Chains A and B, each alone.
Chain A
């Protein structure tokens, strides 16, 4: 009996010890995040002002800003979303609602899982060979946007599928029982009920794309751009122009990379400041995604 009591003391000691080690290990990541935020913020504080956002890059660090990078990121994201969202959602709907269990579906599924694991820079090489040289889009906004769209496609597909899968079968049966066709069921029930999860996935995907540097470097985004792309709205009929799609561009992460790679310390301040803004953009998108997921979870309960 005394033996058992002693033994229990020993195993409980290890139990508690591991609890502490576990908590600490989990906090290593959290700690790094905190230090990273603080460090970046302190380093970049000197440049975090309105002028920094509204200025073009410059040879003089104090005058340089991120205007062209911000505009570039916005336009590239527009192209990315325009391509990845419909394609990804449609593919997700097909795989969950239409696909039969056969070898082709199986291959598509394995393929999507594999695409999600392909390093981002490989998408850059794909875009370089395919869009820049084969389709002759050049080192342009459309090339960058397409590269990132392909990169986040698996994320959008997977999110769409998961949120569709959460819809119970009884809903589909109820719709069919009323005489609805497959597409009517999908349009009136499946898409609206899975919207929360799909939106969350889309935003997470876009936040990933916003921070991606490697594929955009590979397709030849420039690091020093002191002009804006052509305006999408023009004075003459039809008032809309797509010329901007083929303009050279830069994006936020490339601007950060460019500044951090320079030897002059002054530019590192710019890098930190642009990093803070980039960080806020991605975290904000993630927060929105989490909020949407939370809202939809509360709204729909099966």
Chain B
């Protein structure tokens, strides 16, 4: 096995909602330009874990992080209070469970990230909109109606628009929080293909409910249970020769 480049590394991560500890002493390497999947039964903390990576928990009160998530190559701890969450979010994009396009046109949805970064020049924005829509395999569907409301798109198209929106600002890591759970199987297939395509350019972490999805697309898989990462390794290994009993039970569909 070739040694991979580390994009990020989670060291002893604990997380608390108020006084309740939801993540317990987690360690995880994230390899560059690979897909890492987080699987586990509902309520195991995988979404909470994912949302540490772009500091979404900072939006709500009484949340507390402990430990570190080191981002390479800068070697900074992105959950440190000294690091501005806005800077983290500008570098690490996110796609949510439910498609959440803004109540704007398709074009303006993509342009949003550029505009908040102060980019105003129309030629640049036009170019980025076209390029990212192509990258998200949406260009052919929407090229004639770039200025119509994003809500008119189907669920799968909306989700691809949200992926394009996140791509527009060249994130270093893209977080996917169960991106296909609200979408029909055909659209799901398209989005899975897209993710595999995208890993050429960007590191991907995906939380998924669907173990088959993890098996299909992920290079590495981590199994979480009750706020802890039980097992981590190459996807093949996790799915064929899991070393922990609980992982085996979960993968064979015995619980979860």
Interface, chain A (partner B; CB < 8 A): 4-5, 7-8, 10-12
Q: How far is the CB of A58 from chain B (nearest CB, A)?
A: 59
Closest to A12 in B: B86
B14-57 residues at the A interface, CB under 8 angstroms = none
- Residue contact B118 to A8, C-beta cutoff 8 Å: no
A10 / chain B contacts, CB cutoff of 8 Å:
118
Q: Which 5 A-B pairs have the closest CB atoms?
A: A7-B118, A8-B86, A8-B87, A7-B117, A4-B90
Proximity string of chain B (159-184) to chain A, C-beta cutoff 8 Å, 1 when within and 0 when not = 00000000000000000000000000
The distance in angstroms between the C-alpha atoms of A10 and B119, with both chains bound, is 13
Q: How far is the CB of B91 from chain A (nearest CB, A)?
A: 8
- Residue contact B90 to A8, C-beta cutoff 8 Å: yes
Closest to B90 in A: A4
- Residue contact B87 to A11, C-beta cutoff 8 Å: no
A5 / chain B contacts, CB cutoff of 8 Å:
87
The distance in angstroms between the C-alpha atoms of A12 and B84, with both chains bound, is 10
Number of B residues with CB within 8 Å of any CB on chain A: 8
The distance in angstroms between the C-alpha atoms of A4 and B90, with both chains bound, is 8
Closest to A11 in B: B116
Q: What are 17 inter-chain pairs, A to B, with CB distance below 8 A?
A: A4-B87, A4-B90, A4-B91, A4-B117, A5-B87, A7-B117, A7-B118, A8-B84, A8-B86, A8-B87, A8-B90, A10-B118, A11-B86, A11-B116, A11-B118, A12-B84, A12-B86
A4 / chain B contacts, CB cutoff of 8 Å:
87, 90-91, 117
Q: How far is the CB of A133 from chain B (nearest CB, A)?
A: 53
B116 / chain A contacts, CB cutoff of 8 Å:
11
The distance in angstroms between the C-alpha atoms of A192 and B91, with both chains bound, is 56
B118 / chain A contacts, CB cutoff of 8 Å:
7, 10-11
Q: How far is the CB of A181 from chain B (nearest CB, A)?
A: 43
The distance in angstroms between the C-alpha atoms of A12 and B91, with both chains bound, is 17
A7 / chain B contacts, CB cutoff of 8 Å:
117-118
The distance in angstroms between the C-alpha atoms of A4 and B169, with both chains bound, is 11
Q: How far is the CB of A290 from chain B (nearest CB, A)?
A: 25
The distance in angstroms between the C-alpha atoms of A11 and B119, with both chains bound, is 13
The distance in angstroms between the C-alpha atoms of A5 and B86, with both chains bound, is 10
B71-127 residues at the A interface, CB under 8 angstroms = 84, 86-87, 90-91, 116-118
B84 / chain A contacts, CB cutoff of 8 Å:
8, 12
The distance in angstroms between the C-alpha atoms of A92 and B15, with both chains bound, is 48
Q: How far is the CB of B54 from chain A (nearest CB, A)?
A: 15
Inter-chain pairs besides A5-B87, A8-B86, 9 sampled, C-beta below 8 Å? A7-B118, A8-B84, A8-B87, A8-B90, A10-B118, A11-B116, A11-B118, A12-B84, A12-B86
B90 / chain A contacts, CB cutoff of 8 Å:
4, 8
Closest to A9 in B: B84
Q: How far is the CB of B165 from chain A (nearest CB, A)?
A: 18
Closest to B119 in A: A7
Closest to B116 in A: A11
Closest to B86 in A: A8
A11 / chain B contacts, CB cutoff of 8 Å:
86, 116, 118
Closest to A15 in B: B86
Proximity string of chain B (114-152) to chain A, C-beta cutoff 8 Å, 1 when within and 0 when not = 001110000000000000000000000000000000000
Q: How far is the CB of B177 from chain A (nearest CB, A)?
A: 24
The distance in angstroms between the C-alpha atoms of A10 and B116, with both chains bound, is 11
The distance in angstroms between the C-alpha atoms of A11 and B86, with both chains bound, is 10
The distance in angstroms between the C-alpha atoms of A7 and B87, with both chains bound, is 10
The distance in angstroms between the C-alpha atoms of A5 and B88, with both chains bound, is 11
The distance in angstroms between the C-alpha atoms of A159 and B86, with both chains bound, is 43
The distance in angstroms between the C-alpha atoms of A12 and B87, with both chains bound, is 11
B91 / chain A contacts, CB cutoff of 8 Å:
4
Q: How far is the CB of B254 from chain A (nearest CB, A)?
A: 35
Proximity string of chain B (180-193) to chain A, C-beta cutoff 8 Å, 1 when within and 0 when not = 00000000000000
The distance in angstroms between the C-alpha atoms of A58 and B87, with both chains bound, is 72
B86 / chain A contacts, CB cutoff of 8 Å:
8, 11-12
Closest to A1 in B: B74
Q: How far is the CB of A250 from chain B (nearest CB, A)?
A: 53
The distance in angstroms between the C-alpha atoms of A4 and B91, with both chains bound, is 10
The distance in angstroms between the C-alpha atoms of A248 and B87, with both chains bound, is 72
Q: How far is the CB of A263 from chain B (nearest CB, A)?
A: 56
The distance in angstroms between the C-alpha atoms of A69 and B84, with both chains bound, is 62
The distance in angstroms between the C-alpha atoms of A4 and B74, with both chains bound, is 14
The distance in angstroms between the C-alpha atoms of A10 and B90, with both chains bound, is 14
Q: How far is the CB of A9 from chain B (nearest CB, A)?
A: 9
The distance in angstroms between the C-alpha atoms of A5 and B90, with both chains bound, is 10
The distance in angstroms between the C-alpha atoms of A185 and B193, with both chains bound, is 57
The distance in angstroms between the C-alpha atoms of A10 and B91, with both chains bound, is 17
Q: How far is the CB of A264 from chain B (nearest CB, A)?
A: 57
The distance in angstroms between the C-alpha atoms of A274 and B90, with both chains bound, is 60
B87 / chain A contacts, CB cutoff of 8 Å:
4-5, 8
Closest to B117 in A: A7
B117 / chain A contacts, CB cutoff of 8 Å:
4, 7
Q: Which one of A4, A5, A10 has the greatest number of beta carbons of chain B within 10 Å? A: A4
Q: How far is the CB of B92 from chain A (nearest CB, A)?
A: 13
The distance in angstroms between the C-alpha atoms of A10 and B87, with both chains bound, is 12
The distance in angstroms between the C-alpha atoms of A8 and B87, with both chains bound, is 7
